């Protein structure tokens, strides 16, 4: 069976493409790994894509952790290939990069796609726009060859931004969405749906049922069950405002600007927050949900979820995913979680 697993991004097909998470200069201590692969990742980060594992056809393509906020990996578009750093985002469905025709300030700080230099480029007149929590973009749909490691999608629909707002100096060029096709803003076929249809891999799944959230054995959220989203494009744990405020109050965090700050010494005394999923507990300790800013001040990673829904819903971002290995199987609409080592 051909399927896809995400740890960062791990794709299984006739030839496995594995994209492990690699930490680079973050603002908090790197969690130490204890196996040979982790040591190799630290010592030889840029030779990984050239490694061949005998008998397994394994190719490794690393992601980079940018300040514990998001993970980016390299893809190429066009013929000859033009390289871009994109966020692999389970919370969205569209692939897009900046166009050379984009004159927004955000585009000027990123690599832009030069369509006239690609012999396989095919334009369209279809326009679309996407609104994210941190910014928005307007773009047009085009077709070209897209490569992720050894995976190649020819005549792949993707977006070219012609206007961007909110992404100035962000350390990524674009976004590669892993969500369901029917949630796409552009209505273009996502790359993994296309690869699945062509028999290369299956699709990832990202949503699951969350039973409850506890702290000190007390249920603090999801008392009657709720929905949750595992989102590689989010750096925080997000939930309804009143419940997030309750968590901030319990741990003693105080608001300052857009963040809630707390004494750094609290890491040693605060309890874990436990997410119970299908009867299994997944604790998130304070060392994971408390981070340091550039001035050395500590803040929490709990954030109000702005989208209003009739049912309680949560987003488990990188704070959660750094702790648990996640297998996304959208072919069977399920997800597997295991403690990361």
Strand partners, 299: 261, 291
User: Hey, what are 178's tokens?
Assistant: 């892993």
**Mean of per-residue pLDDT scores for the chain:** 76
pLDDT digits (tens, 9 = 90+) for 207-253: 434 456 788 888 888 887 788 777 777 788 999 888 999 999 999 99
User: Hey, what are 254's tokens?
Assistant: 């105080």
pLDDT of residue 27: 27
- The DSSP element (H or E) to which 249 belongs, if any, is helix 241-251
> Each residue of 5-30: b (16+ CB within 10 Å) or e?
bbbbbbbbbeebbbbbbbbeeeeeee
Nearest Cα neighbor of 145 from 199, 204, 86, 83 is 83
For the chain, give me the number of helices (H) and strands (E)?
Answer: 6, 28
pLDDT of residue 77: 97
Q: How far is Cα 314 from Cα 29, in angstroms, rounded to an integer? A: 27
Name the one residue in this structure whose structure tokens are 């096709």: 181
pLDDT of residue 330: 66
pLDDT of residue 211: 57
**Three-class SS of residue 106?**
helix
Do residues 146 and 76 lie in contact, with contact meaning Cβ atoms separated by under 8 Å? yes
Check whether domain 63-198 has CATH 2.40.70.10, yes or no: yes
**Three-class SS of residue 242?**
helix
Q: How far is Cα 236 from Cα 239, in angstroms, rounded to an integer? A: 10
pLDDT of residue 63: 66
Write the class of the CATH domain 208-339: mainly beta
pLDDT of residue 15: 34
Of 68, 94, 144, 231, catalytic: 231
Strands 313-316 and 237-239 come out as antiparallel
Which residue has better confidence, 308 or 277? 277
Query: Is 173 an annotated catalytic residue?
Result: no
SS3 content of the chain, % helix, strand, coil (to 5): 15, 45, 40
Least confident of 20-34, 156-170, 194-208: 20-34
Q: How far is Cα 147 from Cα 144, in angstroms, rounded to an integer? A: 10
- Using the predicted structure, report yes or no on whether residue 57 has a pLDDT greater than 60: no
* Fold matches, 63-198 and 208-339: yes
- Rg (C-alpha) for the chain, rounded Å, is 20
- Using the predicted structure, report yes or no on whether residue 179 has a pLDDT greater than 70: yes
Least confident of 50-59, 111-120, 183-192: 50-59
- Using the predicted structure, report yes or no on whether residue 150 has a pLDDT greater than 90: no
- Using the predicted structure, report yes or no on whether residue 258 has a pLDDT greater than 90: no
Highest mean pLDDT among 35-39, 102-106, 331-335, 337-341: 102-106
- Using the predicted structure, report yes or no on whether residue 127 has a pLDDT greater than 70: yes
Query: What are the domain boundaries of the chain?
Result: 63-198, 208-339
pLDDT of residue 25: 34
Query: Is 245 an annotated catalytic residue?
Result: no
């Amino acid at each position: 069976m051909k399927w896809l697993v995400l740890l960062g991004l791990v794709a299984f097909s006739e030839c496995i493409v594995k994209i492990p998470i690699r930490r680079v200069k973050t603002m908090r201590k790197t969690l130490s790994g204890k196996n040979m692969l982790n040591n190799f990742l630290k010592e030889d980060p840029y030779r990984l894509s050239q490694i061949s594992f005998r008998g397994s056809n394994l190719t490794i393509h690393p992601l980079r952790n940018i300040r514990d906020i998001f993970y980016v990996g390299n893809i190429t578009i066009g013929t000859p290939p033009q390289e871009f750093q994109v966020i692999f985002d389970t919370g969205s469905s569209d692939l897009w990069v900046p166009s050379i025709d984009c004159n927004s300030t955000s585009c000027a700080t990123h690599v832009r796609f030069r369509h006239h230099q690609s012999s396989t480029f095919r334009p369209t007149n279809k326009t679309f726009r996407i609104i994210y929590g941190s910014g928005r973009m307007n773009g047009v749909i085009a077709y070209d060859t897209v490569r992720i490691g050894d995976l190649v999608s020819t005549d792949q629909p993707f977006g070219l931004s012609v206007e961007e707002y909110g992404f100035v100096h962000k350390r990524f060029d674009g976004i590669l969405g892993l969500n369901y096709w029917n949630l796409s803003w552009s209505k273009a076929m996502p790359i993994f749906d296309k690869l699945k249809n062509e028999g290369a891999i299956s699709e990832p799944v990202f949503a699951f049922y969350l039973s409850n959230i506890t702290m000190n054995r007390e249920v603090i959220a999801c008392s009657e069950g709720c929905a949750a989203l595992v989102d590689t494009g989010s750096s925080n744990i997000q939930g309804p405002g009143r419940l997030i405020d309750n968590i901030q109050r319990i741990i003693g965090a105080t608001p300052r600007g857009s963040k809630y700050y707390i004494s750094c010494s609290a890491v040693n005394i605060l309890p874990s927050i436990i997410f119970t999923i299908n009867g299994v507990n997944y604790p998130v300790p304070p060392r994971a949900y408390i981070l340091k800013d550039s001035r050395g001040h500590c803040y929490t990673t709990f954030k109000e979820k702005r989208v209003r829904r009739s049912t309680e819903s949560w987003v488990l971002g990188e704070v959660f995913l750094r702790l648990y290995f996640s297998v996304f199987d959208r072919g069977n609409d399920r997800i597997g979680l295991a403690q990361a080592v």
